């Protein structure tokens, strides 16, 4: 059994903290869906891209939906009119329906999606609100308060 260790990736990613745990659990052979293949890449500090190989699908046969930190990508091939007339000697291009879900980290939003050369590109951006960003606190040195002097009177 092959096991992939994602622990080095936990230290170097922002936004997909829970994603590697989910990928690790999906790496088990009995539960790992392998269609369609995809890549997840970090394109900048707060931007990511999911690239999915969807050869044979048109834009109107694919749907990309983001709802409550879950990105769902679905594909369903339309029925062809002359499907009964065609005879395949070898069929290697899979055109079966699929649904792939990605768990997104907090404040990650889908910014764009596009289909080019059989690859579906979904761009993600992490937008952390200002009140949740770390802020720098200035350190000041406290001067000791001068002790009040009491003047004594001698009688």
User: What is the Cα–Cα distance from 1 to 21, expressed in whole angstroms?
Assistant: 18
| pLDDT tens readout for residues 1-33 | 556 665 665 555 555 556 656 665 555 555 556
pLDDT at 10: 56
95 vs 39, more confident: 39
Note the CATH architecture for domain 7-129: Sandwich (2.60)
* CA separation for the pair 35, 26 (Å, rounded): 13
Domain boundaries, the chain: 7-129
Whether the per-residue pLDDT at 67 is higher than 70: the answer is: yes
Q: Look at residues 42, 45, 38 and name the one whose alpha carbon lies nearest to residue 101.
A: 38
* Top-confidence residue, 148 or 64: 64
What does the alpha-carbon distance between residue 75 and residue 54 come to, in Å, rounded to a whole number? 8
Its pTM stands at 0.62
Tens of pLDDT, residues 76-121: 987 777 667 788 888 887 778 899 998 888 888 899 999 999 899 9
pLDDT class of 122 with cuts at 50, 70, 90:
very high
Residue 144 has pLDDT above 70, yes or no: no
């Amino acid at each position: 059994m092959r096991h992939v260790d994602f622990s080095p990736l936990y230290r170097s990613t922002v936004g997909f903290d829970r994603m590697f745990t989910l990928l690790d659990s999906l790496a088990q052979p009995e539960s790992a869906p392998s269609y369609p293949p995809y890549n997840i890449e970090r394109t900048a500090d707060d931007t990511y891209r999911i690239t999915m190989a969807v050869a044979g699908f048109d834009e109107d046969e694919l749907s990309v939906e983001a709802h409550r930190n879950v990105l769902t990508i679905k594909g369903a091939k339309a029925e062809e009119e002359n499907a009964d007339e065609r005879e395949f000697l070898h069929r290697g291009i899979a055109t079966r329906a699929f649904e792939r879900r990605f768990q997104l980290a907090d404040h990650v939003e889908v910014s764009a999606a596009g289909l080019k050369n059989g690859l579906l590109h979904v761009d993600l951006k992490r937008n952390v609100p200002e009140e949740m960003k770390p802020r720098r606190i200035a350190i000041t040195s406290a001067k000791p308060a001068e002790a009040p002097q009491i003047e004594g009177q001698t009688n």
